[in-house]
Structure formats: structure tokens, C-alpha cells
Chain A
Amino acid sequence: MTHGLTDAQFYEMVASFLGPFYVALAVMNGLAALYIWRTGQTRGWFSVPLPLVGKKIQITNAQIWLLVATVFAILGALAWSAGSAVAALSLPSLWRETINKSTGPVIYSVGTTLGLIVLYFFRSFFVRPAVAWWIWNLMWLFLGLSMTDRDFYEIVAKPDNVPIVMLVFLLAFFTWLGTSQAVENDRRAERGEPPREKVNDEKVLVWPDLVYTELICMIALTAFLIFWAIALQAPLEEPASSVKTPNPSKAPWYFLGLQEMLVYYDPWMAGVVLPSLIVAGLMAIPYIDFNKKGNGYYTIKDRKFSYAVFQFGFLEMWVTLIVLGTLLRGPNWNFFGPYEYWDAHKVEALNNVNLSEAIWNKLFNMSLPGTPALENWPVLLRPFGQFLGLLFGRELPGTLLVLGYFIALPPVMALTVFRKFYSRMGFIRFMVMANLLLFMAALPIKMVLRWVFNLKYLIAIPEYFFNF
């Protein structure tokens, strides 16, 4: 997209985006300050002593947001002036280097998981409007400062990826919206009050209230889509060819999580079994769930388990994988930092080994056990015999591990961590839930095994297309 542009031309192109961008941010903060002031929510945050006058001046939140708006306005003016000023409006190269280095698979996945845990435990802090507003501003500022980087711009400004940027911001907003209501309801429950939704459950008529709302939403969204279709060109490429695959070849943005899953599993596993299990598992939730609380109102305390599982499954294993697939996967499906040049010849030695190879070759220092010949078996039965022979011969370590994981773990879970669940759910419901949970956990486990031990497959029987 920016190929063949000189730096000056590139900055001019970015400036035409960044100018309005920063002005919009300034307006956003100005409106926030105005809203706080008009609704009488001004609070003194801290006071500045004036030594000359001998008085103290209270600095309120409205003033701070007004100041932030001013800063954004100045940034907008600088960006619009183009030229070298735009180049100055970028993250320090040291930061970018650090971010590039720290976005390897392990740090990225561990970091996002830890971030999620921190957000969960300190949720009552993060949902405070002032804190959330700071984070919101910093997210936008981070995006703006990163846009001046050519490699980042290449990724983010691609029409394919615009929905992903929108997704990140929208998701942040809606997660805040839901969590803040849940935190408030939990506080009310502590005081013995009913949830907010129950206090004001005035009936609303479908006609005209709901129908009108839907109509307005429909029109607004259509207008937005038309604007989008006009403003951003369709990302068309050269005619498709069965012998030429673009490099990197990325799935549509909403399937990037699935594509990431395919890196760690066999196609039939990651392309058929696990996606079906996702759908089936989501459909099974109403039958698995035995918690009667949390019906019709936001809450976290009443439904800790469901909340944590859902947020992990959605935020960590769907959304962060989409972001990872967009920002961090480059040519040849190698890992790249968000500010790193996409070098198609980046060498990454990934000599993956199957568990059976590691055990037989490295541990016991012997060659792999072969396929049983089974000469005297009937021809029709021979493949089954050979398959079973491989499963419990060459691949025995992996088979034992997988069987232990799916068969031995659920009873252990029922006896220890999930004792209460088991007694309330009964055998079948608990087994379904435990197996769904274990399948969900299988993905991160396999990812970690790949990254840390270069493990390819626990059970590898390519002869019969069975790999796990």
C-alpha cells in the first residue's frame, strides 16, 4: 500500500488521516468536560498551591479533560501541518523495539491472560468512569502515535483490517459497559438492594417503542455501511489461481482465531471437530447451567464460574487470537512484531517433533516401532488392526496422555475442584461440561507445548490421517 512512496509522501498520506483523527479526539474530550460540567459532576481531583498568592487552586476533572482536549487539538494541528512534524508524533523507537520484542507468542499469550486476570480482580477499579476514560484516551493515542510507523500502517490501514481495529475499541467499550453494571449490581446486592434492572422494570411497548428504536438503528447502520463502502475500497486482489497462494494468506478477520487453531492441530481436528464442539458447547450452555441467579440483570459475583469461562473463551481465545492473527502474523505465517518489517525471508527454525519421536528416539535411543504387518489378518480388517497397533504401539505415550486427559481428569475434577458442581449437576451433565471445558483448554495447552517444546503432535498417525 505504501510501496514506492517516499517518506515525505507517506507522512503526507498519514497526516490527512491523523489531523481529523486528533481533532475528533479533542472534540470527544471537550464534550466529556462539557457534560461533566453541565450535569454537575465536577469533582476536585487535587489542589495546586500558588505560592505567590498564598492560595490553593482546586483542579477539577472537567478542567483536566479540557486540558486533554487541548493537547489533542495541538496534536491535530501538528499532524495537519504534515512534514517532519508528523514524524515527531510517533512512539519513540526504543518503545517500538521493546513492543516488537515482547510480542512473541509466549509473552503475548501469557501477557493477555495475565491482563485479563488483573482486569477481573481489579474490576471495581477499572470500571470507574474516570479510569475507563483514561484508558480509552490512551488506546486512541496509542493508535494515533503508531500510525506514523510504516509497517504498522500497512497492517492497520488495510481495508480488511479496519473492522478489527473497530472490534478492539467496540469490545473495550461494551466490556466496560457490561462490567460496570455488573459491579454496580454486585454492590447493590451487598447492601441488600435489588439489582438496577429490577428497580426500573417499567414495561415498554413493542409498538411503537421497540419498533421505532429498531428502525432508527437499521437506518443508521445502513447509512454507516454505505459510507464505509464508499470510503474504503474493496481489497481486491489478482484473479485467484489454484497454484498461487498469497503470502501471508489470511482468513477473513472473524476466522483468524480458527486459522490460528489450525496451526496447532490437524485439519480435521481444528477445522471440523473443535469448531463443531464450539457450536455444540454454546448450544449446551442452557442445559449445563444450574445457577438460577443472574437472570435478567448484570452480575459477576452471582455467576463467577460462567463469567470467567465465557470471558476466557471469548476474549482470550477468540478476540486476542484475532488480534494476534492480524497484527503479529506475517509472511510464511511467522511471528512479527507490530512495528516489524514483513520480511518474507525471515528465518525461524521451528524443528517440530512428535511426542513419539521424542520418546522413542531421544529418551530410549531407539528407532520408532513400525507398523504391524498383520499378514494373516483378513484384508478388510487389516487397516483397523494396523491403526490400533500404531495407536497402542508407536504412539502409546501420546495415547495414554490423551486418554488420561479426557477420561481420568473429569472424575478427578469431580472429586476435587468441582465437587459442588458434581453434586448439583449429576453424572451426565457434569461429564459433558467437564469434557467441553477440557476441549477448550486443549487449545492453549497445545499452543504452549508447541512454543515451549516444539511439540508437533501427541498422537501422530499420518498413515490413517489421525493426529492429535
Chain B
Amino acid sequence: MADKKRMSVEEMLAAARKADGGSQTPDSTDAAPADPPPVDSTPAAESAPAKPVPAKSASGGRPSVAEMLAMARAEKSGGAVPAEKKPSPGKSSSGKDAAKPAAKKTVAATSAEPRDTASILAAARKASKAGPMSKAEAAAKSKADPAAKAKKIVVPPLPEKPAYARLQPSVPKAKAKGAADEERRTFLGIGFWSLGAVSALWAFATLKFMFPNVRREPPSKFKVGFPDSFPAGQVQTKFKAQFGVWISNAEYNGQRQLYALKSVCTHLGCTPSWLEAEQKFKCPCHGSGFYKDGINFEGPAPRPLERCAIRIADDGQIEIDKSRTFQEEMGQWEDAACYIPV
């Protein structure tokens, strides 16, 4: 669809070049001095239909240089001069030219200085657009004039350096350089020392941040009641919300124990939930599952849940210490501190 609407740059260039070539052939014959006046009228007749409305020229875009030149020439010879172009002084001279023989006229047309408004306009309106050019345009341009590229720039030899500019080792200059070095070193020294001091201060502040004055955490040691409040085979979930532990009374390795499992999944640390109907802990994040004794059996959890230290306190209540944990895969569940035999 888009190609119907407008032509590509390449097509435009091709059309322009075609138009150029078409109207240039009479021009080149024009340049030959042997040719009589009739040649002058040929381009005029050719481009006559394009003259009134330049926007609708044969190439679809604006008229090419050759077309414009031809138009201008047609105006001269035909005498159909637009009103606004009349008063220009160059016009009258070219009007005189028109009466002269063709050989002289072509010299005027091809000379470097444009004489009349039309040719000034033609010179100003170049075939290539102003502004940035696309790759295709650039390629076409470079192809069009290889001669310009091939032109060699001749660089004249540099004049000899005057005496004062020549590099010469002089004693006072070296001294100044040493002084500058000294200054720079002092500056750098101060800079690095202050940088080090600020960094040390920062490090100290960060370290202090790790030990806040006040901590709002549940105590790591807490009592959960008497052992007889944990019937056999039950997983007590009521301490999970406050302390993050389950307290179970179940069998592990054929021995009935009372133990506390930390409610943190060993996969990524979500909080699993105890499913009474399925008798398992199940993590809602990635589906890890653990048996009642905390051994992992499904999902991605790589190791069993961790146990906390548990003991009967002096008052006969169960005391749990969350700061000490026991890992099954390290063989730590054999430790008597992590269970109460029932």
C-alpha cells in the first residue's frame, strides 16, 4: 500500500536522473558550436508542457535542474515571461543573449555565474534535498560523482618549528614539574585519607545498625504449658502465629517424642500449614510437603524441617529455645536437647 502512496528515494533519484539524462542530451549537443539555432528551441518545446505547473512534472517530484534550465530557456525564447520576473536586471541581459547566436547563448547558460532569476532559482534548487540524507541517498550520491571522492588533498609541508617551541630539557622547568607532582601527591594523600576516614565511619555506623538499642522480637525462649496438654499423635498449631513453631507428640524412628518444629520451609522460607486431613505439612509457595515428623517427601524442599531445643523447665512446663536449631540431615536429631521422650 505504502509504495503506491509515494515513491521511495531510490525511485525518485532514478526518475530524476532519467529526466536529467533525457534533457541533458540536447544540452550537450547544444554546447557543440557547430549546431545552428534550431537546437535552442528543441528543449523548450520538450519541457513546454511542464512549464505552467512545475509541481506536476513528469518525474512526480519537483523539476530537475535540467528541466528548470530548459524551462527558463523556453521562457526566454518564447517570450512568455511571468510578471514578477520582469524587473530583474539580469533578465534583460539574457534577453539580449537570446537574440544572439546559439553558441554564445550556451556559453552564458553554462557559465558559473547565473544571469537571470530562473537560473538563479535553478542553481539554488538543487536536485538533492537539504538536511540529513538516508543511506540510499548517500549511496546514490557517492555513486553519482566518483570523481569528487577520488580528488586528492594535497597537504603542504609544515613550516619548521621556531626555536622557542622546540622541546629542550631545561633545569628550572623540571623543578617546576617536580613541585607540581609534589602538590598533586599531597592533594591525593589528603583525598584518600579523608575517603578512608568517611568509609570507616560508614562501616562503623553500619555495624552499629546491626545491634539496635531496642528489639521488638518475641523472646527466643518461651514456655508452652505442661507436657500432658499435648496428647499423643497431635500437632499443636496454636503457637505458630506467635512463636513460629509446631509442637508435636509423635513417633520418630520408632520412639514417641515431644518435639518442636520450626514453621519455616527449608526451601525458600515460606510458612507451611499443617493439613490435619492429610497428616502433613504443606508449603503454599512451591508445594513442598513434610511428614508429621518433619521429614520432607514432596516438592522441592531439599531437607527436613528444623527442630528447636526443647526441655522441661524447673516448674514442670515445657520450655522451647528457638535460638538453637537441630537439623536432621546433619544427624543433630539424635541430640537429647531437641526432644522430650514420652
Query: Any chain A CB within 8 A of the CB of B78?
Result: no
Residue of A nearest to B243 (CB): A243
- Binary contact readout B287-304 vs A (1 if CB under 8 angstroms, 0 otherwise): 101000000011110110
A247 & B286 in contact (Cβ 8 Å cutoff)? no
Please tell me the size bucket of the interface on A. 35 or more
From B109-117, B158-166, B227-235, B268-276, the one touching the partner chain is B268-276
Please tell me the size bucket of the interface on B. 35 or more
B244 & A262 in contact (Cβ 8 Å cutoff)? no
Residue of B nearest to A344 (CB): B275
Give the distance to chain B from A197, nearest Cβ to Cβ, in Å. 11
Query: Any chain A CB within 8 A of the CB of B277?
Result: yes
Give the distance to chain A from B31, nearest Cβ to Cβ, in Å. 36
Task: Report chain B residues within 8 Å CB of A205.
Answer: 131
Task: Report chain B residues within 8 Å CB of A350.
Answer: 287, 289, 298-299
Within 8 A of B (CB), among A318-341: 331-334
Given A243-B244, A457-B302, A460-B302; A332-B282 close (CB under 8 Å): yes
Give the contacting residue for A352; candidates B270, B277, B299; CB below 8 A: B299
Task: Report chain B residues within 8 Å CB of A262.
Answer: 267-268, 285-286, 300
B284 & A248 in contact (Cβ 8 Å cutoff)? yes
A333 & B287 in contact (Cβ 8 Å cutoff)? yes
Within 8 A of A (CB), among B236-281: 240-242, 244, 263, 267-268, 270-273, 275, 277-278
Task: Report chain B residues within 8 Å CB of A244.
Answer: 241, 271
Q: Secondary structure at chain B's binding surface: helix, strand, loop or mixed?
A: loop
B278 & A264 in contact (Cβ 8 Å cutoff)? no
Q: Report the separation of the CA atoms of residues A242 and B269 in the bound assembly, to the nearest whole angstrom.
A: 10
A462 & B134 in contact (Cβ 8 Å cutoff)? no
B134 & A249 in contact (Cβ 8 Å cutoff)? no
Task: Report chain B residues within 8 Å CB of A456.
Answer: 300, 302
Query: Any chain B CB within 8 A of the CB of A200?
Result: yes
Give the contacting residue for B287; candidates A263, A345, A351; CB below 8 A: A263
B268 & A245 in contact (Cβ 8 Å cutoff)? no
Given A200-B2, A345-B278, A462-B329; A333-B302 close (CB under 8 Å): no
A203 & B134 in contact (Cβ 8 Å cutoff)? yes
Query: Any chain A CB within 8 A of the CB of B338?
Result: no
Give the distance to chain A from B236, nearest Cβ to Cβ, in Å. 14
Q: Report the separation of the CA atoms of residues A457 and B244 in the bound assembly, to the nearest whole angstrom.
A: 28
Given A201-B8, A332-B284; A264-B300 close (CB under 8 Å): yes
A333 & B277 in contact (Cβ 8 Å cutoff)? no
Task: Report chain A residues within 8 Å CB of B297.
Answer: 351-352
Q: Report the separation of the CA atoms of residues A333 and B275 in the bound assembly, to the nearest whole angstrom.
A: 14
Task: Report chain B residues within 8 Å CB of A460.
Answer: 302
Q: Report the separation of the CA atoms of residues A207 and B56 in the bound assembly, to the nearest whole angstrom.
A: 29
B241 & A462 in contact (Cβ 8 Å cutoff)? no
Query: Any chain B CB within 8 A of the CB of A265?
Result: yes
Give the contacting residue for A249; candidates B132, B241, B270; CB below 8 A: B270
A246 & B302 in contact (Cβ 8 Å cutoff)? no
Query: Any chain A CB within 8 A of the CB of B74?
Result: no
Give the distance to chain B from A191, nearest Cβ to Cβ, in Å. 15
Given A244-B271, A267-B268; A332-B287 close (CB under 8 Å): yes
Q: Report the separation of the CA atoms of residues A467 and B266 in the bound assembly, to the nearest whole angstrom.
A: 13
Q: Report the separation of the CA atoms of residues A309 and B136 in the bound assembly, to the nearest whole angstrom.
A: 33
Task: Report chain A residues within 8 Å CB of B298.
Answer: 349-352
A200 & B3 in contact (Cβ 8 Å cutoff)? yes
- Binary contact readout B1-41 vs A (1 if CB under 8 angstroms, 0 otherwise): 01100101100000000000000000000000000000000
Query: Any chain A CB within 8 A of the CB of B283?
Result: yes
Give the contacting residue for B285; candidates A249, A266, A463; CB below 8 A: A249
Task: Report chain B residues within 8 Å CB of A241.
Answer: 241
Query: Any chain A CB within 8 A of the CB of B45?
Result: no
B8 & A245 in contact (Cβ 8 Å cutoff)? no
Task: Report chain B residues within 8 Å CB of A246.
Answer: 284
B136 & A201 in contact (Cβ 8 Å cutoff)? yes
Query: Any chain A CB within 8 A of the CB of B200?
Result: no
Query: Any chain A CB within 8 A of the CB of B330?
Result: yes
> Contacts A245-B270, A347-B277, A350-B298 given; 11 further ones with Cβ under 8 A?
A201-B134, A202-B134, A243-B240, A245-B272, A263-B300, A332-B275, A350-B287, A351-B297, A456-B302, A462-B329, A463-B330
Please provide the 4 A-B residue pairs with the shortest distance between their CB atoms, ordered closest to farther: A333-B287, A247-B284, A462-B303, A350-B298
What are 29 pairs between A and B in contact, CB < 8 Å?
A199-B8, A201-B134, A201-B135, A201-B136, A243-B240, A243-B242, A244-B271, A245-B272, A245-B283, A245-B284, A247-B273, A247-B284, A259-B285, A259-B286, A262-B267, A262-B286, A264-B300, A332-B275, A332-B282, A332-B283, A332-B284, A334-B287, A344-B275, A345-B275, A345-B277, A349-B298, A462-B302, A463-B330, A465-B302
